[in-house]
Amino acid sequence: MTPGDRHLECDRLAGTLRGLRARTGLSLAGLADKTRYSKSSWERYLNGKTVPPRQAVEALCALAGEDPGRPLALWELAEAVWSGRSGRPPEPAPPTSRAELPAPRPASPPDPAETGPMKSGAAHSSGDDAGPAEDGAAAPPASRRAASGASGRATRRFPHPRVRRELAVGGLCGLAAVAVAAALVVAGALGAGHWRSGGSPAMSALTVPASPGCEGSDCTGKNPESYGCDVTPPPTTLRRQAFPGRTVVKIRHGAACHAVWARIDLGRVGDRVEIRMPGHAPLTAEVKDEYDAKGSLSTPMIALGRSGPDAASACLVRRQERRCFGLYDAGPPG
């Protein structure tokens, strides 16, 4: 699989790793110093360009003080998809042109029960399909040889219509089962905060409801990406504020988690972004290196409590200058 073909599992794992990395407070160089993996390797892991080794996930969890159960379950799903062990069907090949398709000419009318066109290439995948006579296939009966001789074309033998129908139905059912199983595994993995002991985490995910990994006060201080609060359902941007350069700071509200956080897009190295709520100390994230500056970085969450999301405000601290904003005004004084 190439990076362009990666599925939701790989993106979800990368988001979780980014959240864990933010909790460590380490730059890519810092991660490289404290683990056996290089700075460039961590950049690929955090961007989802490749699936990291299991040991890298464990090392990052240890640095972040995170129980490795959920991240490793996401790793199992991503690694299975990346390596092709998930059993998902490959992408269909480009359709064959009509000129390349065999042109069978049956001597008798087709079975009336046969309905629907056959996919191009289906005949090639059937073990009952013989090649043209010139390829060494057994010669057809005399009556069919005569019919094909009149047209001047070689005749190809196809499975009985009933066999074709059974193969088609069986194949569709198999694909549907794989798709449903994969969807259930992903849904469970996205929202599971804890895994049952014993057995494979990926299999345990089948019994876990699709919900975030925390809710309300349990989310305070946690990273929204690590706990699925940024995807289930997608958060609402309450307000966005542009700053010099291309920097944008957003106040985000995760309804499923009942929490708010701030996110900075395209910040500058050294920038700090804060999320504020009445009665709670500000929580901060810092743009530590060029990797952070090229993408997005979220603060830890603050639970709403008695205050609604409208009470949230955010600040950007750049070169010792703090600029804050709320939903309807300039926010708290800097």
pLDDT (tens digit, 9 = 90+) per residue, 18-47? 888 888 888 888 899 999 999 889 988 888
Contact 284, 273 (CB under 8 A): yes
Residue 86 confidence (pLDDT): 55
Domain range list for the chain: 1-89+171-186, 216-334
pLDDT for res 311: 92
Confidence of residue 208 (pLDDT cuts 50, 70, 90): very low
| Burial grade of 100 (CB within 10 A; 0-12, 13-18, 19 or more) | exposed
The pLDDT assigned to 29 comes to 87
Of these ranges, 166-175, 187-196, 280-289, the one predicted with the greatest mean pLDDT is 280-289
Which of 16-20, 229-233, 258-262 has the weakest average pLDDT?
Answer: 229-233
pLDDT digits (tens, 9 = 90+) for 308-333: 899 999 999 999 899 999 988 654 44
Q: What is the pLDDT of residues 133-150, one digit of tens each?
A: 334 344 444 444 444 444
Q: How many CB atoms lie within 10 A of CB 233?
A: 11
Lookup: tokens for 130:
């013989």
| pLDDT confidence band for 153 (50 / 70 / 90) | very low
Token pair recorded at residue 94: 């480009």
Predicted local confidence at residue 26, as pLDDT: 86
For residues 268 and 246, give the distance between their C-alpha atoms in angstroms, rounded to a whole number: 9
DSSP 220: B
Other CB atoms within 10 Å distance of the CB of residue 207: 10
Residue 240's pLDDT is 94
| The pLDDT value given to residue 287 | 93
CB 143 within 8 A of CB 107: yes
pLDDT one-digit tens code per residue, 238-247: 999 999 999 9
Confirm or reject CATH 1.10.260.40 for domain 1-89+171-186, answering yes or no.
Answer: yes
Higher model confidence: residue 143 or residue 307? 307
Q: What is the pLDDT of residues 107-134, one digit of tens each?
A: 444 444 444 443 333 333 333 333 333 3
For the chain, list the strands marked E by DSSP. Answer: 236-242, 248-254, 259-265, 272-277, 280-286, 296-298, 302-303, 313-318, 321-326
> Using 50, 70 and 90 to split pLDDT, how confident is the model at 302?
very high
Beta bridge partners of 249: 241, 264
The percent of residues above 70 in pLDDT, for the chain, comes to 58
Residue range 175-202, pLDDT digits in tens: 444 444 444 444 444 443 333 333 344 3
Listing DSSP states for 150-196 in one string gives HHT--------HHHHHHHHHHHHHHHHHHHHHHHHHHHHHHH-SS--
Question: Residue 35: how many CB atoms within 10 A of its CB?
Answer: 18
Helix (H) or strand (E) holding 286: strand 280-286
Predicted local distance difference test score (pLDDT) of residue 161: 52
* Short-list 100, 83, 92, CA closest to 10: 83
pLDDT at 127: 38
> Cβ neighbours of residue 288 under 8 Å, at least 6 residues apart?
25, 26, 27, 269
Whole-angstrom distance, CA of residue 145 vs CA of residue 27: 75
Question: Which distant-in-sequence residues (6+ apart) come within 8 Å of 191 by Cβ?
Answer: 208, 209, 210, 211, 212, 213, 228, 232
pLDDT score, position 53: 92
Between 217 and 112, name the one with better pLDDT. 217
